Amino acid sequence: MKRIAKAMAVLLVIAVFFVLTGCTNKKNNPEVGIIQYMEHVALDSARDGFITALKDNGYVEGENITFDIQNAQGDQTNLSTISDRFVSNNVDLVLAIATPAGQSIAGKTTKIPILGTAITDYEAARLVQSNEAPGLNVSGTTDMNPIKEQIELLVKLVPDAKTVGVLYTSSEDNSILQAAIAREHIEDMGLKYVEVTVNNSNDVQQATQSIVEKCDAIYIPTDNTFATAMPTVYGVTSKSGTPVICGEAGMVENGGLATLGINYYDLGYQTGLMAVRILKGEAKPATMPIEKPNKFDFAINGTVANEIGLEIPADLLEYVID
């Protein structure tokens, strides 16, 4: 019996050792799940900026951190499956890129720290108690645009515009919010507002063809569906000669005319710095206010301007990207 008791004691010590070692390894080598709603320039840039920020602060993939990067390709079922995967694996932190991704993972766990990026309003998306004091396991960075300034840019580039058309996806909370803000500023400037919404990318061409007949210029906010479908928008507006002001530079590169928008790489980097604080145990999402972008950048597509016969003001020429 003494031998059995001694053997059991040794086994218990070994078991405790491995448990403690396993815990230590997990703490020193955290696993970060990245759930991205879909693939387009802005969201990809935010993801890359996030990873770079962690690397710059000593968290290097393959050495002392693991990234599980998953892309839902715009599919809600995929979002749910990815979220379940991260919860099942008990990852140490999740980065949610875009509002639907944040809503999916937040609906699956109240324990795992979640940071979002490329999300416009966390409170409106019901991800936090308030943007100033999240109170839950979610925080992050907002991609709320300087919408008033973007509409002012539209008026500067198209001074004869009387009617502004707005295109957005009716199921995206962030797009609905931005469209409402845009409408307020458009009407405050004495311009007429018209809108056409889409359900998915299949509707984009018809929606664009419809709205160019009703307006002198178009505004498109940071909308995931339109971000991926800008070549389709360009195919219509280049023929009609309709200027398109977009929510971010990636949309301008893919066929829009201009923006004063967010640098999504910088926004992702900013989110990565928040992640460093969480991984080091210095902060928790509940007490981390939603952070705003540090700066906005002009971007003007020179090729599009030439095609639609629009002259770029001299003070904006330095921002021409193509």
Please report, for the chain, the start and end positions of each structural domain, with discontinuous segments joined by +.
29-143+264-294, 147-261+297-319
| Neighbour tally for 313: CB within 10 Å | 10
pLDDT in tens, the chain (322 residues): 445 445 444 444 444 444 444 443 445 699 999 999 999 999 999 999 999 999 999 999 999 999 999 999 999 999 999 999 999 999 999 999 999 999 999 999 999 999 999 999 999 999 999 999 999 999 999 999 999 999 999 999 999 999 999 999 999 988 999 999 999 999 999 999 999 999 999 999 999 999 999 999 999 999 999 999 999 999 999 999 999 999 999 999 999 999 999 899 999 999 999 999 999 999 999 999 999 998 899 999 999 999 999 999 999 999 998 7
CATH number among 3.40.50.10170, 3.30.2350.10, 3.90.190.20, 3.40.50.2300, domain 29-143+264-294: 3.40.50.2300
Query: CA 64 from chain center: how many Å?
Result: 26
As a whole number of angstroms, the distance between CA 321 and CA 80 comes to: 38
Q: Reply yes or no on domain 147-261+297-319 having CATH 3.40.50.2300.
A: yes
Residue 116, token pair as written in the block: 């979002």
Residue 36, token pair as written in the block: 């991205």
The residue type at 174: N
Residue 68, token pair as written in the block: 């599980």
